[in-house]
Chain A
């Protein structure tokens, strides 16, 4: 990509320096990227790991022993894994049913189902917990009306809440697989006499398997790492993420045990990330070939409809009910107990500074994340240097690291000089940036892959150096990816809880923490009202994203990175 500038006239040191810089710009940027990622990604994780084996007298495995012997801890670990498996199974199943219904079900249902299934994207994930508590908590509306003795706390509540909040992600990935399936394959099978069940079993599902598996792995990681829903609904059942919270913010701040717990939280996530990266990547059946046919809308047979429709409609109803309950909670004095209509929650200004902080931090994060993401994407896609694959791996790992673990790592890494950042806005921003920039990298890579290197070669041929080429050719074309990374980073940071709950201080308070705390302390009206405001802000940004993407031609929904934790 870079060529020696062969010239015979004398050049000044400055000119030669500039040429050298330009020729090696990618390599230099790559080096800087390594350093940055090293400091802000690898170092905190290492600090976390080190703390877990560090005792008063130096190296010790005492805390690990505690973890593995005290039944409370390892039960917490297995509960977390089990929750992951349960949530993944249910969520992927519902996601598949929904995707099937929106691609083949009755036409009049498709659009509505699709929109409702994507609705949880604009909301903080823990509103599902809030809504479940309002309806079926100890003094929940349904609990009192129907005198239910059944408790929503524990596995049941967590699975329901998590399934609904991760549904959009599973849905998008599976729907992507289903809709890129060559319709001729199912036509052929049908032509040869296969019933819809047979086609589903022998053709559709096997060919969508890579997409379904990918969705499953991502939901699993998100489920393990998620804090909000689990903390609110776990009841007496121990789970790792809330346990880390209790450990660190409790009366005796035990960072050692906290780090051990975080390490155990990280291990399954990283393992799955590796599986996903090395085994699943690139595996997929290319089934679309040849010219598209003017196709009639596909249809679903009745036996399948009987199975898929109720599942999908139930999930959609639950989502709508959740939003409804949150809406109702915002406008009633104490929902379930005193249902008078009030404005006080909505008009309360207690959440204002938190909301303002959230917006401020999210904007900065979105911007920085997108910048870092795009630059990294360029370096990874176009660079040829040793360690390129490792850099790629590092960039994508942000998605796999649980927010809680990374946050603790940040506290441990940056609580002392030379980088004493704890308590500042900077640490919050940095932690969010290094979790969210992965979206920018993915979007940027996607766009760059579409952009042929020949265009850049042509530019170089015509005399432009690396910087000019990047600025005038590459950047305008990958600009949509930047926008996408920015708004996505913004949205996710607005609703994120697990990372920020450890890093925020009274000065850098964020809306999601406010909602969580008011929710935990029973001020449900305020929690709902603030959630509504948060949802509104995020919804507006999503509409802006839709508008911008249509304008610049980048598709919003065909991508990863939709979940929030």
Chain B
């Protein structure tokens, strides 16, 4: 994706960190551009929060450099690094009002009262909490507290905003709503933001770029679209959404057609014609096909099966209103299939036979 014209705001060079015997970060490098909303996402224990704390100066790395806007800030104290951290539990001062919380940083830097008051009101307006300056923190809802924490962090106009799982403490509906609010505020202020979460759908929906982490390494960097469509590994494919990983062998390789490569793949349940760009396919190669459940169609059983069409039996069905998730057995293989608009398309009951149409465009991984 474009964006290389923007300057690099954060440069991480080979960050290593161990806690005791456990190596939590194994030499992580990354570059974040100005104004970008970058998300570090990964399962628990992958090191994302530690990395965030290292950037913020709350934890010291064992080796490696953190460079913000061209300056190496390895030994700089947290308040002078140009970063501001928003904690998962907000860390709002319970004995102070909203205005006192938001204005704390300004107060500490010696701003005079009138100027602080002005800026606090400006910030409260930004996060849509105008008028709530005199409330005490415990009287606010989770979403409101989140926004106070944000306003407090933005008060000193940091270069980089660090958000540590900011939405984890909110209930499901509020979380989705707050995603939009956060994104809007970030874009309006234009501040470089690093977001840490274990929730992949959250990461996908708001990020400019994702940094997918696993066991102390960054496994893939890319836009949500790139990561979802072209994951580098089965792990990443499975992490960002439900996926069917189907193993197979290249049988026929007729050559290039336009930009894309065609091949026939022999799998356990039959032969598939695929069209893919990316890796080089030789006959006999063992590969994994990354097939997303929403790309597979499920139809009532057919007598004659065409290309990429297979006979299957519905094993389980989960009805979720706008869509249905099926587990369909084709021979010995189980695949997950999503069906949208089930009322018009027709529900398939458990135990029934059905016809499953696999897509031709798939992403391919080497085994």
Contacts and interface: CB of A to CB of B under 8 A. Distances in A.
A192 B108 contact: yes
A291 interface: yes
Interface stretch (B86-94, B113-121, B171-179): B86-94
Interface residues of B, number: 30
A194 B108 contact: yes
Interface in B80-134: 80, 84-85, 87-89, 91, 93-95, 104-105, 108-109
A185 B104 CA distance: 12
B56 A191 contact: yes
A184 B88 CA distance: 9
B91 A184 contact: yes
A193 B80 CA distance: 8
A185 B89 CA distance: 10
Contact of A192 (B50, B60, B79): B79
Given A184-B89, A293-B53, A294-B19, A192 B156 contact: yes
B94 A287 contact: yes
A296 interface: yes
Nearest to B156: A192
A248 to B, nearest CB: 48
Contact of B169 (A184, A290, A294): A290
Contacts of A286: 94
Interface in B151-185: 152, 155-156, 168-169
B94 A187 contact: no
Nearest to B84: A191
Contact of B91 (A182, A285, A291): A182
A188 B88 contact: no
B58 interface: yes
A232 interface: no
A289 B56 contact: no
A293 B85 contact: no
A170 B156 CA distance: 39
B64 interface: no
B188 to A, nearest CB: 22
B91 A188 contact: yes
A187 B152 CA distance: 13
Interface in A250-295: 285-287, 289-291, 293-294
Interface in A147-193: 182, 184-185, 187-193
A198 interface: yes
B59 interface: yes
Nearest to A294: B19
Nearest to B110: A193
A279 B169 CA distance: 31
A296 B88 CA distance: 18
A203 interface: yes
A302 to B, nearest CB: 14
A182 B78 contact: no
Contacts of B155: 192
Given A182-B89, A182-B91, A192-B156, A187 B58 contact: yes
Given A191-B84, A192-B152, A185 B93 contact: yes
B109 A289 contact: no
B76 to A, nearest CB: 12
Contact of A290 (B19, B77, B89, B109): B89
Interface string A185-225: 10111111111001000110011000000000000000000
A340 B304 CA distance: 113
A545 to B, nearest CB: 31
Contacts of A287: 94
Contacts of B94: 207, 285-287
Nearest to B44: A291
A207 B95 contact: yes
A203 B93 contact: yes
A193 B95 contact: no
Contact of B88 (A190, A194, A290): A290
Contact of A193 (B53, B91, B156, B168): B156
B146 interface: no
A207 B155 CA distance: 23
Contacts of A193: 79-80, 105, 108-109, 156
B49 interface: yes
Contacts of B105: 192-193
A188 B88 CA distance: 12
Contacts of B108: 189, 192-195, 198
A293 B89 CA distance: 11
A67 B256 CA distance: 111
Contacts of B85: 187-188, 191
A185 B91 contact: yes
A207 B93 CA distance: 9
A182 B168 CA distance: 18
A498 to B, nearest CB: 38
A193 B155 CA distance: 12
B169 A192 contact: no
Q: Which of B49, B95, B168 has the most CB of A within 10 A?
A: B95
Contacts of A289: 89, 169
B78 A187 contact: yes
Given A207-B95, A296-B59, A190 B89 contact: no
Contacts of B58: 187, 191
Nearest to B137: A285
Nearest to A287: B94
A285 B85 CA distance: 22
A290 B108 CA distance: 27
21 contacts: A182-B89, A187-B58, A187-B78, A187-B85, A188-B91, A188-B152, A189-B104, A190-B77, A190-B79, A191-B58, A191-B85, A192-B84, A192-B155, A203-B93, A287-B94, A289-B89, A290-B88, A290-B169, A293-B49, A293-B53, A294-B50
Given A192-B79, A294-B19, A296-B60, 13 more contacts: A184-B89, A187-B85, A190-B78, A190-B79, A193-B156, A194-B79, A195-B108, A285-B94, A285-B95, A286-B94, A290-B169, A291-B88, A294-B50
Interface of A: 182, 184-185, 187-195, 198, 202-203, 206-207, 285-287, 289-291, 293-294, 296
Listed from nearest, the 6 A-B pairs whose CB atoms lie closest are A192-B105, A290-B89, A184-B91, A289-B89, A193-B79, A188-B91
Interface of B: 19, 49-50, 53, 56, 58-60, 77-80, 84-85, 87-89, 91, 93-95, 104-105, 108-109, 152, 155-156, 168-169
